[in-house]
Structure 1
Amino acid sequence: MKTELIITTYNNPKALNLVFCALQDQSRMPDRIAIADDGSGPETKAVLEKYQSYLPLRHVWHPDTGFGKNEILNKTIASSDADLLIFIDGDCLASAGFIERHIELAKPNAFSTGSVVRMNAQTSQNLTEEDITSKRVFDAQWLRQNGNIKGLSDSLKAGKASQSVSRILDRLSPVKITWSGGNASTSRSQLIAVNGFDETMRYGGEDKELGSRLLNAGVKGQFLRYSAPLLHIDHPRGYVDPEIVKTNRAKIEETRKMRRRWADHGLDRHISA
């Protein structure tokens, strides 16, 4: 089974540098790492060049015309030759077993979805490569001391529980399963079957709409909530539009009610016949 990690990014080279720094310590590397780049400038390209010799990178880029995350994701999926695709955002740090856990859980007709521990603004601003290479950023005690653990759930996500206990907690989690675009995986063939991401949708739940279509198509969702979480680097979200979020929620509900499986404006636009 050929695997590819797809990382979305847009003009956040500092965070992307730290993401790559964490990926170098994976217990199992993917065959390829694709950067789905929604129109970043030369600073992002420079970060890729820094890690080109250490990581199996490819760069999928299109011009910046506004929020086009779903479109660049579809272009990246279309150009991939992997069987299993794993998705994270370019502001999320993966601990050593992250990729291995997604590969371990991969099944036909299933997708895996995980969660994040959200680091606060101060920790995110002060984060260094040395924090990552020393692995202290993944230590629950360090996270707590820096004000990033908000309760029992965060403690468990940050590794306070053993892997065997974490896997049991994944199965028992009462949270509704949906596709979390910053931490998810499934086969490329499953994404082709539902026509990938809906490119008419802008920021605000657009990943959940894909998850609803996968579930409608009979693809089973499974959790990695505690056994493969990510650390999320805080950043401003000036691009959030409450009206778009409201519209997206209505579309997600419609997708669920209508049992819609296919995105009319999706992946097929980028796959050659």
Structure 2
Amino acid sequence: MSPEEIKQHRVSLIVSTYNRPDALRVCLDSVKQQTILPYEVIIGDDGSRSETADTIKEISRNFPVPIKHVWHEDNGFRLAMMRNKSVAASSGDYIIEVDGDVFLHPKFIEDHLREAAPGIYVKGGRTNLGKELTEEICRQGVSRRISWLTKGIESKPENALHLKSLAHYLAPRYRKHHSSALGCNMSFFKDDYIKINGYDEFFEGWGGEDVDFGVRMQKMGFGKRYLKFAGIVYHLWHEDKFMYNREKNFAYSSSLDDNKPARCVNGVDKYLK
């Protein structure tokens, strides 16, 4: 989008979280540092305890844009459902979604909007931080600048490089025919999301919901732009948790690949007014 077009759109930034208020605090601090602020922030909470609600209430008092807290009961890993509920609760026309255990480069929103277009979804990557650096950042409770040379990066330091012109050149070309999507760093027009009925709520437990989302976006005829060297997020370390339903989720997704409809049955429409 051009600067003039950007001004015409309202961004709803959706932040998915679960029982990690220290990381969420860092994430929201990085939102305040954006060169282009979102219209609103939607916290999609998959059943966290009261500490998360208390943290959101505290931060909301002096936050530059409205924060909405969307919560449902903790009944297992229901990220696909919560993302649908969060989009339904949003009032913007452009959606950017991240996870609550990442924080954002100051030009993150600007980068996504530069590549945004109807019928396109934009996918970014992430730099993974190690345990020691993560604990230091979370103790301080604020985001910080990270470069590819920062001590304490666990993996993918190259993803911390911000190269605007190269990123813009690569966006429609890099991995052009790969249908991947990444729920922790992705954006799209809300109308396009609704056309495929959002996330398929069959997916409970870890994995598969974002891959399925990308496949169905492309089956609908939508294109993808890949943010390499832009749209950067820094992933805070956490222990690997038991990935229940992983085999079931990916088996379901694979079984439908050839005949998968673009619009899922069990999606966002039930939450829309």
Normalising to structure 1: TM-score of the pair?
0.89
Give the aligned partner of residue 67 of structure 1: 77
Tell me, in whole angstroms, the C-alpha distance in 2 between the residues paired with 1:122 and 1:240: 24
Give the aligned partner of residue 47 of structure 1: 55
Q: Which amino acid aligns with 1:68?
A: R
Deviation at 1:247, TM superposition (A): 2.2
2:30 and 2:103 in contact (8 A); partners too: yes
Counting helix residues as a fraction of each chain, which structure ranks higher? 1
Give the aligned partner of residue 122 of structure 1: 132
> What per-residue deviation string (whole Å, max 9, x for no partner) do you get for residues 192-221 of structure 1?
111111112121121111111111000111
Tell me, in whole angstroms, the C-alpha distance in 2 between the residues paired with 1:212 and 1:254: 13
Q: Secondary structure at the match of 1:141?
A: coil
Do the aligned partners of residues 110 and 171 (structure 1) sit closer, same or farther apart at CA in structure 2, a change above 3 Å counting?
closer
Give the aligned partner of residue 190 of structure 2: 188
Deviation larger for 90-99 or 230-239: 230-239
Tell me, in whole angstroms, the C-alpha distance in 2 between the residues paired with 1:183 and 1:210: 13
Runs of at least 5 residues in structure 2 that lack an aligned partner in the other structure: 1-8
Tell me, in whole angstroms, the C-alpha distance in 2 between the residues paired with 1:31 and 1:82: 7
1:32 aligned onto 2:47? no
1:212 and 1:252 in contact (8 A); partners too: no
> What per-residue deviation string (whole Å, max 9, x for no partner) do you get for residues 48-71 of structure 1?
122212142111111111111111
Tell me, in whole angstroms, the C-alpha distance in 1 between the residues paired with 2:114 and 2:166: 16
Give the aligned partner of residue 271 of structure 1: 272
What number of residue pairs does the alignment pair up? 261
> What per-residue deviation string (whole Å, max 9, x for no partner) do you get for residues 46-93 of structure 1?
211222121421111111111111111111111222110000000011
Q: 1:23 aligns with which of 17, 24, 31?
A: 31
Q: Which amino acid aligns with 2:53?
A: K
The two structures, once aligned, show a CA RMSD in angstroms of 1.9
Deviation at 1:120, TM superposition (A): 1.5
Do the aligned partners of residues 237 and 156 (structure 1) sit closer, same or farther apart at CA in structure 2, a change above 3 Å counting?
closer
Q: Secondary structure at the match of 2:73?
A: coil
Give the aligned partner of residue 139 of structure 1: 147
1:90 aligned onto 2:103? no
Deviation at 1:36, TM superposition (A): 0.5
Normalising to structure 2: TM-score of the pair?
0.89
Q: Which amino acid aligns with 1:146?
A: G
